Amino acid sequence: MNPIALVIHFLDGTEKTATAVAADLIAFESRFDLSVVKLESEVRLTHLFYLGWHALKRSGETDLEFEKWSESVSTVSFGTEKKSKG
């Protein structure tokens, strides 16, 4: 599975981009007992919010727990992954 690019819009009008990588995808599957592959056909808002939160938590961009963090978020949507040269 490729990394998943996400755009997180906060209630205060700010926006962050995050990329869910292996550690985030594994945490997602453990929490929801659902394959990440199912996101294409069975996506729920909670799934996107969780992936966005986990990616930001992993990268040190938030220290809030998921429920508290989600109180500050307006929307989370799929972004576009930039291809690296190499």
* 39 HSE (CA, 13 A, CB side): 23
The model's confidence at residue 84, banded by pLDDT at 50, 70 and 90, is very low
Taking phi over 0 as left and psi of -120 to 50 as alpha, with beta for the rest, 52 belongs to alpha
Rounded Cα distance, 15 and 38, in Å: 26
36-69 tens-digit pLDDT: 998 888 889 999 999 999 999 999 999 999 999 9
2-30 tens-digit pLDDT: 899 999 999 999 999 999 999 999 999 99
